[in-house]
A = this chain, B = another copy of it.
């Protein structure tokens, strides 16, 4: 069974998913490491579901530094959601951090699919409900927590990220300088050695 169908079953707790009909709305794309899936300033017409690999979404700030805002590992969805929803151009670039396989859906097909399958409304309602709740926690962590506590929490919540995401990109996502992140990692290693 396709990984997306498994994910729909898991999230919705429904076993009766019209797999073939749902999958016809998607195209499979494979990207090499560092490939660009969406360019900043271009029309944002695709929504990606990561089957295998890892994506990041970033913009380039006024100093020319790439600022990473979001990641997507296996079974995560990624697009510039504001642009995708409204038909505007993307404010971000989306790039593959590893060799990555995605399912891609256009905005027209996304709407057709939701209109045709109430189950997909339920799936996306549950996905967004989780994502929104997680995003509210992220706001609180960024704005209220001391940086080292935020780092500890992030590390315990997303251990996979720590292994798969390059340091420089992870630092940008956390709002740290690469030097500060490296200092935190050294402290963490010392702590482990002391135990």
Interface residues of A (CB under 8 A from B): 61, 67, 69-70, 81-82, 85, 114, 118, 121-122, 124-125, 128-133, 135-140, 142-144, 175
Total identical chains? 2
Determine chain A's interface SS by DSSP, over half rule. Answer: helix
Known: A61-B144, A132-B131. A69 touches B125 (CB 8 A): no
Note all chain B residues with C-beta closer than 8 A to A118.
Answer: 118, 121
Contact yes or no, A82 B124, CB < 8 A: no
Note all chain B residues with C-beta closer than 8 A to A139.
Answer: 69, 135, 138-139, 142
Q: A175 CB to closest chain B CB, in angstroms? A: 5
Contact yes or no, A125 B114, CB < 8 A: yes
Q: A140 CB to closest chain B CB, in angstroms? A: 6
Note all chain B residues with C-beta closer than 8 A to A69.
Answer: 136, 139-140
Q: A163 CB to closest chain B CB, in angstroms? A: 23
Provide the bound-state CA to CA distance between A111 and B175, in Å.
37
Provide the bound-state CA to CA distance between A61 and B85, in Å.
36
Note all chain B residues with C-beta closer than 8 A to A114.
Answer: 122, 125
Give the 4 A-B CB pairs with smallest separation, nearest first: A128-B128, A125-B125, A118-B118, A135-B135
Q: A60 CB to closest chain B CB, in angstroms? A: 12
